[in-house]
Structure 1
Amino acid sequence: MSSGKCVRTGSDRLNLHHLRYFCVLAQTEHYGRAARQLGITQPSLSHAMAALEQELGLPLLEKQGRGVRLSRYGQQFYQTASETLARLDAGVRRLQATREGGGTLRLGAVRGLAVTAAPQLMHSFRQQPEGREVEFCLNSASVLSSEVMQGLDAGKYDFVFSFRPGNPDTTEALPFAFGKFVFIVPENHPLAKQTSVRLQDTLDIPQVFFSQQNSLRDTVEKMFARAGGLPPISLETESDQVVAGLVAQGFGAAVVPQLQVLESLPVKVLQITDQPTERMAWMVWRRDAWRSPAAKAFEQHVRTQVQKGSVTI
């Protein structure tokens, strides 16, 4: 078999050049025209087709006047060969685009950040010259920082947006936005007449809490511990938006991040005055992972946006 790039088929190998020659010959049905199109001699093309038929053990071509046509086996093989080469060429183009600063960036984000911060940064990056050829794939299925971190560790993402900075031994983390916690009550609650509240004054009010799986649970519990104890818990759930929805339906009050969805729900938002309420969001990536030019450019863009103070959550 002649030398060249090969693909394995069982225990044998097929020459990729021969596959391309075969597809062009199948389209032109003429050795002379195919050879000119390929930039090779007609004897070289004839030799390649003979080698391909010998490799497969079946006739792919039949004589037709001064030209050729595909045999029944050639018709079957042409469909497979053309599809294989198309996929291969598409894969090569994607890798070339990545090398040249384009390609796809895979992002994972907890749901709260997937609604606000991540789209802001994606959009602003696409407006820059270095971001115009970059595509994004954003996975926002999880509400838990631990789950997106697992995806990062498994190599599913180039970056994740999380409320945790990740493992400092294996990841790099950039704090990119700050938010705060607020206290919410139904609109008909006695506290709805106020604009602020001390957590120590809410310890006897039934409240909706985050479940233990949500990293915010620990933060909220520490806030209440500093305020003097835990309130009665009426319900637990993982999602901050679900917590807000339950409060709107009268299942209790809650400490939640200040979310955009609160503006559309029948709840009253109260500022917390006796506890630190700031929370930080992070963009995290693996320290040992190879990063494409697009990934490096995106990181620098996020750093620039942080310096401008233009990212909100």
Structure 2
Amino acid sequence: MNLSQLYYFKKLAELQHYAKAAKELYITQPSLSNAISSLEQELGVSLFQKTGRNIHLTKYGSEFLVYVTSGLEQVDKGIAIMKNYAGTSDGGKIDLGCIITVQTGYIPKLLNDYKTRTAGVAFNVREAASAPLLGELKSGHFDVVFCAHGEDDPDIAYIPVLTQQVVVAMGANCPLASKAFITPADLEEQHLISYLDTIPLGRAMRRALDERGVQNVEYNYLDESILAGFAANGVEAAIMLDTFFLHSVEGLEVRPFYLSALERRPCYHRVYLAYSTKNYHPYCVDHFIQYITDNLVLEEDPLARYID
């Protein structure tokens, strides 16, 4: 048994077709067939069974695939680490997803800083909302994502990396504009708008406001751009996050939101680096996650309130 046979077996198990597997492995179909037959003879079990022109794994093949996949992942990582020590690594590519509010400032700075420390790593960056990002993370389309905390899931790990402050935004004619800060008591007579409560941020905002008895809220909006637009041009006040969107809306007044006038505890929503604990990660992805873990984990402020 040799390493090539194990790679051949894994590829054939993925494609379940000799011709397709041989093409991707850059070998002939007879060479692949001979390698698999030799492996089966050495193991003493049949790994594949023919079904017409296709094949599928036997129960022995399915079990063997688990061990082979795990073993080859460790071999690949070991090779990558040794090449990195030797300065011959090609770096690799990381598919990264992020919410829009971190893609203009935080992500470019983070990646530029990381690239100065780690040569050769390329990033493929795509923006989406938190829920789709987490779905594509689990399916393997992303290696890591920067997003709001989703529902608890044993297959996803979250590392807090930055905060965005909760504020109240309004037009200049709103009665709240005369205040230096806003508390839940100030909102009792005010018509409020906030995020859709079907997205992670909206659910977190609704929980926080419900705890403080703030009930007159319309949870219908997707992001800060539309919330800020309605707040600046209407009678509504928007309870939302302080992001770059707010600074591009003319006539908008923004005030910090505190839980009480006495304590004046600011509220923050956290953004997380999320990654799958189940999916395979090449060495470059593990190294990036470790870099975040070692250097950029957010320290919790005991005086603040986190709504996520």
Q: TM-score range by the shorter chain?
A: 0.5 to 0.7
Q: Does 1:303 align with 2:286?
A: no
How far does residue 229 in structure 1 lie from its aligned partner after superposition? 3.2
Show the 5 A alignment for 1:140-289: 140=127, 142-143=128-129, 145-164=130-149, 167-233=152-218, 236-265=220-249, 266-274=251-259, 277-289=267-279
- Whether the 8 Å CA contact 2:91–2:284 is kept in 1: the answer is yes
Distance 1:287 1:166, change over 3 A: farther
C-alpha deviations, 1:20-60, integer Å up to 9, x for none?
A: xxxxxxxxxxxxxxxxxxxxxxxxxxxxxxxxxxxxxxxxx
How far does residue 165 in structure 1 lie from its aligned partner after superposition? 5.5
- Whether the 8 Å CA contact 1:176–1:303 is kept in 2: the answer is no
How far does residue 166 in structure 1 lie from its aligned partner after superposition? 5.6
Unaligned runs of at least 5 residues, structure 2: 1-7, 9-16, 29-78, 261-265, 300-308
Q: Which residue number in structure 1 is paired with residue 108 of structure 2?
A: 119
Q: How far apart, in 2, do the equivalents of 1:17 and 1:279 lie?
A: 53
How far does residue 114 in structure 1 lie from its aligned partner after superposition? 2.7
- Whether the 8 Å CA contact 2:224–2:240 is kept in 1: the answer is yes
SS at match of 1:156: coil
- Whether the 8 Å CA contact 2:169–2:254 is kept in 1: the answer is yes
- Whether the 8 Å CA contact 2:158–2:275 is kept in 1: the answer is yes
- The structure having more radius of gyration, on CA atoms, is 1
Aligned residue-pair number: 222
Q: Does 1:138 align with 2:138?
A: no
C-alpha deviations, 1:267-295, integer Å up to 9, x for none?
A: 11111122661222111111122222221
Q: Which residue number in structure 2 is paired with residue 32 of structure 1?
A: none
Q: How far apart, in 2, do the equivalents of 1:229 and 1:247 lie?
A: 18
SS at match of 1:126: helix
- Whether the 8 Å CA contact 2:159–2:273 is kept in 1: the answer is yes
Q: How far apart, in 2, do the equivalents of 1:278 and 1:16 lie?
A: 53
Show the 5 A alignment for 1:60-99: none
SS at match of 1:301: helix
TM-score, normalization by structure 2: 0.62
How far does residue 170 in structure 1 lie from its aligned partner after superposition? 0.8
C-alpha deviations, 1:80-106, integer Å up to 9, x for none?
A: xxxxxxxxxxxxxxx999993512100
Equivalent position amino acid for 2:277 in 1: R
Q: How far apart, in 1, do the equivalents of 2:163 and 2:273 lie?
A: 12
Distance 1:204 1:148, change over 3 A: same
Distance 1:9 1:253, change over 3 A: same
Q: How far apart, in 2, do the equivalents of 1:101 and 1:165 lie?
A: 34
How large is the RMSD of aligned CA atoms in angstroms? 3.4
C-alpha deviations, 1:3-28, integer Å up to 9, x for none?
A: xx9x9779x98x9699xxxxxxxxxx
SS at match of 1:212: coil
Q: Percent identity?
A: 16
Q: How far apart, in 1, do the equivalents of 2:259 and 2:298 lie?
A: 30
How far does residue 307 in structure 1 lie from its aligned partner after superposition? 5.3
Q: How far apart, in 2, do the equivalents of 1:227 and 1:201 lie?
A: 12
C-alpha deviations, 1:230-268, integer Å up to 9, x for none?
A: 1253x7221222212221222511111111222222211
How far does residue 168 in structure 1 lie from its aligned partner after superposition? 4.1
Q: Which residue number in structure 1 is paired with residue 50 of structure 2?
A: none
- Whether the 8 Å CA contact 1:221–1:230 is kept in 2: the answer is no
- Whether the 8 Å CA contact 2:197–2:206 is kept in 1: the answer is no
How far does residue 297 in structure 1 lie from its aligned partner after superposition? 2.2
Distance 1:242 1:101, change over 3 A: farther
How far does residue 161 in structure 1 lie from its aligned partner after superposition? 0.8
- Whether the 8 Å CA contact 2:164–2:243 is kept in 1: the answer is no
How far does residue 196 in structure 1 lie from its aligned partner after superposition? 0.4
Distance 1:101 1:289, change over 3 A: farther
Equivalent position amino acid for 2:165 in 1: K
